[in-house]
Structures are given as C-alpha cells and as structure tokens.
Amino acid sequence: MRIRSGKVELRAFEPALSDSLYSIRNHPSVRRHLRDAAPIAREGHDAWVRANLIDARRLDLFVVFDRAMPAGIALVRNIHGLEGEVGVMIVDAERRRLLAYVAAHLVGYYAFEVLGLDRLLSLVPLQHAQALEFNLNCGFEATGKASDVYHVLALSKQRSREHPAHKRFRRTREISVET
C-alpha cells in the first residue's frame, strides 16, 4: 500500500525496505527520542522485523519517503477495537517540519479512513517538547492517564474532521491511496 500527498509518500513495509528502516531507526535524530537511545544492532533489528513485520503483523508500519528518498517512519500499532496508537519519526524532524506534518496527516488518514479507527493515541516522550507542541497543534488532547515516561494524548476521528489543521490539510492537499 502507498499513501501519497505531493512529494511525500508512505510505503507499507516490505522486506526490501528493511535496510532503509534500519538506517532510519538508527539515525541519531530518531534514536535520541526512543526509550532506549543506544544504537540498534543489525541482528536485533532483523529479529524485530521478523517478529513484528514478517512472521506476525503486530503493527502497520510505513517508510516515509520525501521525493523518493527514505526519510522516516509512520506507524499504527496496539490496535484494540476501534482505538490504536500512532507514531511518526522523521530523520532531522526539526529541519523537516512540513514533512512531519504531511506524514502525520497521511498516517492519521490511514488509521481513520482506511482502518476505520475512531480514536488514536500518541505517546510523546516527556522530554520531547517539540513533539508535544506538534501533537497539540494537530488536535491531540491530554487523556489524563498518568505515565512516568510519556504524555498520553488522544485524537478522535470526529475531532480530526473538525480541527482547523486537518481541515486546512484536506482543503489544500490531495491524498491518494494505492493498494
């Protein structure tokens, strides 16, 4: 599956993208916001890919391409009923805010319109102020759930359809889905 808007494309994970995924997951600008910021060993990455993306599909993971170059990851995981968790990790996101914005909207579109979910959670690391601001500006709201590690935020399908950032995105950008 591919989801596009302009020069940004989300490509559903396939084994041929494993090297790109490994490079993105190991990029210092991505790693510093992970629970464990240590470099990921290739063997560990390969085992994780096998267990989560090949042997069992435990999450829907997309590699984010910017002008045909791999630049990030977008995912939906922990789906329970009509709720799931969304995540977007962009290499050098501080310099590529528009790319992060488009990727976030595309994975949200996938979750709400393709998967039919009604609510998305976003777990933002407590120390990642920019990601918190980004999520709040996209309509996510605090859930009030306590966490020692994350801001736990939520966005409903209805709120995403009414929020100015999402309305502006849909009004100014075309989204295409190729299965």
What CATH number corresponds to the domain at position 83? 3.40.630.30
User: Residue 176: pLDDT above 90?
Assistant: yes
pLDDT of residue 131: 93
d(CA 84, CA 156): 11
pLDDT of residue 33: 86
Contacts of 30 (CB under 8 A, 6+ apart): 24, 72, 73, 89, 90, 91
Q: Is 46 helix (H, G, I), strand (E, B) or coil?
A: helix
pLDDT of residue 102: 98
pLDDT of residue 12: 98
Quote helix, strand, coil % in the chain, to nearest 5. Answer: 40, 30, 25
- What's the average model confidence in pLDDT over 118-124? 97
pLDDT per position as a tens digit, 130-152: 999 999 999 999 999 989 999 99
pLDDT of residue 146: 86
pLDDT per position as a tens digit, 32-81: 988 788 999 999 999 999 999 999 888 999 999 999 999 999 999 999 99
Cβ atoms of 150 and 132 within 8 Å: the answer is no
Domain count, the chain: 1
pLDDT of residue 93: 93
pTM of the model: 0.95
- Within 10 Å of residue 52's Cβ, how many Cβ atoms? 15
What percentage of the chain reaches a pLDDT higher than 70? 100
pLDDT of residue 36: 83
pLDDT of residue 35: 77
Residue-number span of the structural domain to which 48 is assigned: 2-178
90 Rama sector, left if φ>0, alpha if ψ -120 to 50, beta otherwise: beta
Task: Pick the closest to residue 118 from 86, 147, 89 (CA basis).
Answer: 86
